[in-house]
Amino acid sequence: MSDTIAWLDPWYPIVDEVVRHGVERQLMLEIPQSHILARESVRLIARRGDTDDALFALTEGRVAEVHMTWRRSPETEPHWPATAIFSSLAEWAAESMIPLHHELSNLR
């Protein structure tokens, strides 16, 4: 899935399986049972280089942009880690990655 779009800064695809599995394990550690991703199968596909955001593939072509907290136990509030779910990688790119890239490019 990660090679079907042109990645724009600050996002980059994850190709290292050790990194992928480590971040996936960390996400499962962070999310409380009431979190929107608690019963989802996730696969890390990209990270944001300037923050703790990560992009995960979900079932049915959906993706989740998650602001990781790096806590060593489940969060106590169900809205953490902050998560936005998109129906497709293309929708995420159009609504999140591209606008962010343009915003950051204008700051330079």
Q: What is residue 76's DSSP assignment? A: S
pLDDT digits (tens, 9 = 90+) for 66-92: 999 999 999 999 999 999 999 999 999
User: Do residues 42 and 58 make contact, with C-beta atoms less than 8 angstroms apart?
Assistant: yes
Sorting pLDDT into bands at 50, 70 and 90, what band is 107? confident
pLDDT digits (tens, 9 = 90+) for 89-103: 999 999 999 999 998
**The pTM is what?**
0.94
Work out the end-to-end distance of the chain between its first and last CA atoms, rounded to an integer number of angstroms: 30
